[in-house]
Amino acid sequence: MRVLLSGVVGSTAYGLARAGSDVDRLGVFAVPTQELHGLQRPAESVVSTAPDRTWHEAAKWCRLALVCNPTAGELVWLPEELYEERTSLGSELIGLRQCFLSAGAVRSAYLGYAGQQFRKLQTRDTAVPETRARAAKHARHLVRLLEQAVGLHETGELRVRLAEPERVRELGERIAERPQAAEPLLAEAERRLDRPGVLPHAPDPRPVEDWLRRVRLANLTQQPCAS
């Protein structure tokens, strides 16, 4: 596979990493175009845990980004120093990042993911040290997702690196101890997301489609026909 764009994501990108934290990587790759025309479709994602990395095929990544998947979408909003591989097509993809955004998808995806974290918090026994640490991680994700959703809605920009990571960490600890403390945050985020924002009603898939076609052309290897 040909990697078009990849970078360090997760806690390192958010500014929440500490000694011993995992280093997560995310990337977009393209398969040779001719492989898309056989009986067996190539894998759309490649995931490993040693090291921790997730690579999505170009078309799949675009589909995820067009519904504002928070995990996939952050790849095109990283601080410059966190990119590890960046081809010309990868730079073009970064330039298209606004095309993927829409108000309804941001609200649905980010609140949906935050809600998942909240439900996990409600079912964890924080008396167990390992479970408490996991709960604090869920709580940090919840706070981050809500702040990023509101930021996207109100400014049209995704801030991957948190402005106040220590405040988010401390707030996560309090919410892990008492999950109900997250309820006002969820309510406030919903209230702000219900107000008019700067995002369009729908994404603009046309430039994305054009980009994907250029990816296919760039990875097309013509084979001579058998006589």
pLDDT of residue 113: 96
pLDDT of residue 81: 97
The helix/strand/coil state of 34 is: helix
Question: Is residue 227 in some structural domain?
Answer: no
> What strands, in cross-sheet order, belong to the sheet with 83-86?
45-49, 52-57, 24-30, 2-9, 83-86
List the domain range (segments joined by +) for residue 80: 2-100+203-218
Give 10-residue mean pLDDT values along the chain (227 residues): 95 90 94 91 91 95 98 97 98 98 98 95 70 88 97 97 95 94 97 97 98 96 49
Residue 102's φ and ψ, nearest 5 degrees, are -155, 150
User: 130 and 94: one domain?
Assistant: no
Q: Which of 178, 182, 177, 174 is nearest to 142 (CA)?
A: 182
**Are β-strands 52-57 and 24-30 bridged in parallel, bridged antiparallel, or unpaired?**
parallel
User: 51 and 163: one domain?
Assistant: no
**CATH number of domain containing 80:** 3.30.460
pLDDT of residue 21: 82
How many separate domains does the chain show?
Answer: 2
Question: Is residue 95 in some structural domain?
Answer: yes
* Tokens linked to 7: 């970078």
d(CA 117, CA 12): 20
Q: Cis link prior to 51 (omega < 30° from 0)?
A: yes
User: 96 and 122: one domain?
Assistant: no
The helix/strand/coil state of 91 is: helix
